A and B are shown apart, each in its own frame.
Chain A
Amino acid sequence: MGEFKSVGKNVTRVDIRAKVTGRAKYAGDIDMPGMVYGKIIRCLEHAHAKVKSIDFSEAKKMPGVLKTLGPEDVTSKTYNQSVIDLMASAQEAEWMGDIEEQNIFTKHVKFYGDGIGAIIAETEEQAERAAAKVKVEYEALPVYLTPEQSSAPDAIQFVESKPGNRAFQLPAEMFPNNCLGWGDVDEAFKEADVVVEDRFYTPKQKQCQMEPNNYIALYDDEGRLNCWSSCQMPKLAHVKLARLFEMPMSRVKFNQTVVGGGFGARLGLVMEPEVCALALAVPGRPVKLLQPREEDWLSSPSRHPSDYWMKMGFKKDGTPVAIDAISKNFKGGYYLDGSALASTTGFWLQGMYKVENLRYRGESYFTNQPVCGAYRGYGNPQTNFVLEQLVDRACNELNVDPLEWRKKWHKTVGDNSWIGFTQYSSCALDECLDKGAEAIGWKEKRAKYANQTGVKRRGIGLSVGQHTSGAAPMILEHTTCTVRLNEDASAELLLACSDLGQGSHTTLRQIAAESLGFPIDDVHLDVGDSDANGFDIGAHASRTLYVGGNAVKQACEDARRQLFERAAKKLEANADDLDINDEKEIFVKGSPNKSISAKEICEVGVYNFVNHLTGERNGEIGQIQSYVSYMPDHNSPPFFCTFVEVEVDMETGEVKVLELVSAHDIGRAIHPAICEGQMEGGAQQGLGMALTEEIYFDANGKVKNNSFTDYKMLGSSDMPKMTNILVENPDPYGPFGAKSVGEAGLVTPVGAVANAIYQATGIQFTQGPITPEKILKAIREKAAAA
């Protein structure tokens, strides 16, 4: 991009030197004088039980123990650890039925690993040894692991306000008949020539961010509660903690440490309430809470598993006439974002194809499983697994090429977007499909693999998707940004946007430098400090570059305007006629000799003196600062596709993913290597969701694989040859035309690999993940039936 100085360049990531040397400080790496350690006591005997009594007497006698805490020793105020409820208006939150039903330590255990108390001791080992001495008496309750079980008439109610343990259904006040969509689906199916229908299961997938959720909290001498955490959404965590502990926000300080991956796992609060409760129990002593991997697995939210039924109807010529769908989410033990996830799963469905009639019902049911919350894609991968497989089944019956069908029927510019009442502002999906198809050799391979008979059979599959850039106008979108020009004309930006590792602090800096006209090294981002930073939603909904980027752009453009206006007076020129060069000399376009340095203007603004002879000041006073409080109206959805080639061993059921090609309509690549990184990492998680990743339970609700040994992710040797194509088609609303890429990379590999297996084996797999066991079983059943 020749027109830009910083945008579009693979500049060195701002955080990378600290990360390759290991100097980057994650929460667990911080030590403080006088620090003590917390240990949470978790119920590992039952997935559903009443706590009858807790006996701390032996634990208290253990060396180094400072405090023991049970449910009665902390605030009885309840909360909801998700932050989604903060982003809806009071009216909508009431309609959606959002609740706050969680206690810091519970007396009603709802899942295996639920927290019931804590120990504070001088060392980590002492805290652990004391925790082992705590005696708890439980009354075991029936365990419900599916919506069917928990919604049975005689099931114990998790929350009184949610009869039948139905945590959520689309509210009739916002969605007539509790349905999303349009048209008359039942009538339309009568006219359909081809109908495809099936019931799917999408698995409970874990984010597996590499840094466990670790914390420090300190109730300090000023009476302020300080928390150090790698939360993705620090400002919303800040207000939630202030409300929970009934303190003004000015007495709560939230310090965001380096974030070791997120993917939704720390979207809202995870163990912040617990560590802050511990800190309040030992004023003046910093309390460190380190979570072993097995406990992190249980205590942080995962993807919602879903029981997802869908039916699609088509005319003979391929016209899609109707889609009907019901998604029932397994909520886990607590509500969290029960409303939003069940809604968006349907939004992604209604955003994809030009179908004449559509009806979607989304519901969530409590289950005795670790909580479910946000995970990269937020319902989109679930819909992709179901919708894209059914589209391929229909294409088979209609005898049309799945690529051509999608090119004809995907939504585009001007069509109603995923949210239903705004229109797509840009779409380059056709270009993505053409480039992707060419890169993988779609046409030749699709024909070549059509009729195979051997032991090793290949298949090629495709999937398309659309996502969002921020959550507007569905729910709140807001980022504030302050820019301050120092007296030497370097710039400080204060904002609370998070970098979970995706690189947003680098890309936001590029946008700032470009907008100011400054070299990138002269721009610094001051982030992660709730005292200094104004409001920001935090990292979710693929919003940071888009919403944060526009906030940064506006604030920096305003600072530059102020700078140019001062320069214009000195140069006796019009501010609109000015430009700035790499040396930060502001000059009159066409007359480069007529110039003044940005430094001179900034310095005079701060170091301003009165001439004692003339009584005049030596220039315009005041440090140049700009502030914006930015709320977008748009969400500029990115479109994208993935092609996958697999080889299936018909004797063992093993799937080898040979090649993956993704192409994303990202608007503008601010930092191409960072964009590719999102697509490459997304592919690892998307292929994992489709092929290997699921949290398993025994009949008593005990988690069987809360470790990297037993939970299989694709490793370096399992990953296919990858090609990731960036299609740049600037969007009218994105900063420099950019749209999101963060979550999108995970979505389409899910449907694409399932469709590749379909072509190779002639079998569709409705139950994710598609493991060798399931493939082998299906092959044998098919052979037996034949």
Chain B
Amino acid sequence: MNKLAVNLNVNGRNYDLSVASNKTLLEVLRDQLDLPDTKYGCGTGECGACTVLIDGQVVNSCLTLAATADGKAITTAIGLEKDGQLHPVQEAFVEETAVQCGYCIPGMVIKTVGLLEQSPEPNEAEIRHWLEGNICRCTGYEKIVAAVKSASKKMTNAGVKAVG
């Protein structure tokens, strides 16, 4: 397979990579960069488990060819934690017990960060609509929605931006 020179900034770290042109961003994150926090759930953009931020925008990394992210900044769930401190969205998920098996959660957390970046105080309908692309089979979404609301309140009160 044709290889391309690609520069990715992932969670603040710069990588100069040689990437096969058919590799998705999900594959490169997991297999080449040893960042398995982003999950494979379906490989066809149906479930959102692979959601990452590219320059602040939410994207299904399983549908994104890695080479198309050349020169861009990528944030994954593990990159939200700064100096051992959880991101307010992650904190809210912890406090609301919004996690069961956890497999969808890195994608859910990133999706929430993306939502709060563009709409810091969403109403419940907006939250539920926004989360439609992310499947959770454990929680019935109830505590996840509660966590998004709580994160929004936390960040608004503290004057914090979602993408820091």
Contacts and interface: CB of A to CB of B under 8 A. Distances in A.
Which secondary structure dominates chain B's binding surface? loop
A680 B143 contact: yes
Contact of A681 (B90, B127, B137): B137
A16 B131 CA distance: 20
Contacts of B86: 17, 20-21
Given A20-B90, A21-B81, A22-B76, A681 B140 contact: yes
A24 B109 CA distance: 14
Contacts of B128: 716-717, 719
B136 A210 contact: yes
Interface in A553-596: none
A261 B76 contact: no
Contacts of A722: 140, 142
Given A210-B135, A685-B137, A258 B143 contact: no
Interface string A206-242: 0111111000000000000000000000000000000
Given A19-B102, A677-B97, A208 B137 contact: yes
Contacts of A208: 135, 137
A445 interface: no
Which of B77, B102, B143: most chain A CB closer than 10 A? B102
A683 B138 contact: no
Contact of A16 (B43, B76, B99, B135): B99
A210 B104 contact: yes
Contact of B36 (A29, A501, A503): A29
A238 to B, nearest CB: 22
Contacts of B37: 21-23
Given A10-B97, A20-B109, A23-B37, A708 B143 contact: no
A615 to B, nearest CB: 51
A211 B41 CA distance: 6
Contacts, number: 172
Contacts of A21: 37, 77-78, 80-81, 86, 90, 106
Nearest to B38: A22
Contacts of B101: 209-211, 259-262, 500-501
A208 B132 CA distance: 16
Interface in A114-137: none
Contacts of A674: 97
A614 interface: no
Interface in A645-704: 673-674, 676-677, 680-685
A501 B138 contact: yes
A684 B99 contact: no
A293 B36 CA distance: 17
Contacts of B96: 673
Contacts of A260: 101-103
Contacts of B142: 676, 680, 719, 722
Q: Which of B30, B80, B140 has the most CB of A within 10 A?
A: B140
B83 interface: no
A297 to B, nearest CB: 10
B50 to A, nearest CB: 11
Interface in B83-123: 86, 90, 93-94, 96-97, 99-106, 109
A210 B77 contact: no
A13 interface: yes
B44 interface: yes
Contacts of A782: none
Given A210-B135, A677-B139, A20 B97 contact: no
A681 B139 contact: yes
Contacts of B137: 207-210, 261, 263, 681, 684-685, 713
A745 to B, nearest CB: 9
B121 to A, nearest CB: 18
B7 to A, nearest CB: 23
Interface string B14-49: 000000000000000010001011111111101101
B58 interface: no
Contacts of A716: 127-129, 131-132, 134, 141, 144-145
13 contacts: A22-B77, A210-B49, A210-B104, A211-B101, A212-B41, A290-B40, A501-B103, A503-B97, A681-B100, A684-B140, A707-B44, A716-B129, A716-B132
